[in-house]
Amino acid sequence: MFSVILPVYNGGKFISSAIDSVLAQDCPDWELLVMNDGSTDNTAEVLKKYSADKRIHILTQKNMGVSAARNNAAAKAKGEYFAFIDADDIWHKNHLSVIQSLIDKYPSAGLYATFARTELVNGGVVEECNYFRTRPPVVFAEDFFEEYCEDKSVNMFTTSSTCVSREAFYKTGGFPLGCTIGEDLESSLRIAAYYPVVLTKEATATYKKANSTATKDISFDPDWKFFDTVSELYADDTIPQKKRDNLKKLMDWFTMRRCRHYIINGERKKACQAFRDTNRRSVDKKDIVINIALLFLPTALVRRIFAIRWRGKA
């Protein structure tokens, strides 16, 4: 059985669409746990109309953030697989059945992900993923970090298009607390350290970026806590050495992004320190040249360049 986990905070305007998309699944073996994270709008009233359905469990907590909401809902879950959907997104009717087919074929994986069709803030729509243009429609990645280092578009999924095994979720500690953005990426990377990842090009969810309060105006948190805790994975010799090396290489790329965002924020000292912390032999020379150039430009000009060229990518 799938345990579907849906956190919501002040999502009264759109949560019905998310819940209705779960109800419409052509795979019937699921339960839905909705965690109301201390909403102050009409979310509780909207959820009442679903309380009669025995498959749906309405849970409440004081406002503690999305990570705590997901983790606390997972603690009540009965399924062997946790599928996630955010209150402002929707599933296509075949989402769980596609995930089930991946589980049946690749039972050793810890994380399964479909492509998320994305509705952008400017009204545009992303209908397909560049990652699959030169690959088969389903990829079994024993070393997800190697794939990520070779092609950044491998990060083609969102929380709403992922499913993880109960075992993988609890082995890696669930979602990290205290993150304003990046908790889903950290959780995925931790699972990828210990388990294979399975990806499919099939779009089975729609991510509505215009509704997202977390990523509408920021694409990356330079103070992402994973920079400080990833060393635990580097030191874990149960993870193959090659995989740990690829993780270090990937984190060097993230550190270059960190440098760029510190520059954008006007935090020059932190930007310089991030640049010094990077093993520059493992990152693209183009990124090195770009960051050096940005370090010598006025902050206002860097912000303007970012707004035009790198927003959502930097």
The number of distinct structural domains making up the chain is 2
Same domain flag for 201 and 232: no
pLDDT interval class at 314 (50, 70, 90): low
Q: Is residue 218 part of a domain?
A: no
pLDDT (tens digit per residue) in 244-255 = 999 999 999 999
Q: Do both 264 and 119 map to the same domain?
A: no
**Cα gap 13→261, rounded to integer Å:** 32
Instruction: Tell me, yes or no, whether 25 and 142 share the same domain.
Output: yes
Beta-strand pair 111-119/197-208: parallel
Domain extent, residue 43, equals 2-211
CATH of the domain at 40: 3.90.550.10
Q: How confident is the model at residue 189 (pLDDT cuts 50, 70, 90)?
A: very high
Half-sphere exposure of 211 (CA within 13 A, CB side): 20
Asked if residue 201 and residue 131 are part of one domain, the reply reads yes
Look at residue 221 and tell me if it is in a domain: no
Residue 217 lies in a domain: no
| Residue 141, in any domain of the structure | yes
pLDDT over 70 at 210, yes or no: no
Write the pLDDT tens digit of every residue in 268-313: 999 999 999 999 888 889 989 999 999 999 999 999 888 887 655 5
Comparing CA positions, the residue from 56, 44, 50 lying closest to residue 8 is: 44
Domain's final residue, options 211, 235, 267: 211
d(CA 146, CA 129): 18
pLDDT one-digit tens code per residue, 93-130: 999 999 999 999 999 999 999 999 888 877 788 878 88
Same domain, 18 and 163: yes
| 51 and 188 belong to one structural domain | yes
Q: How far apart are CA 263 and CA 271, in angstroms?
A: 6
Q: Please indicate, yes or no, if residue 25 is contained in any of the structural domains.
A: yes
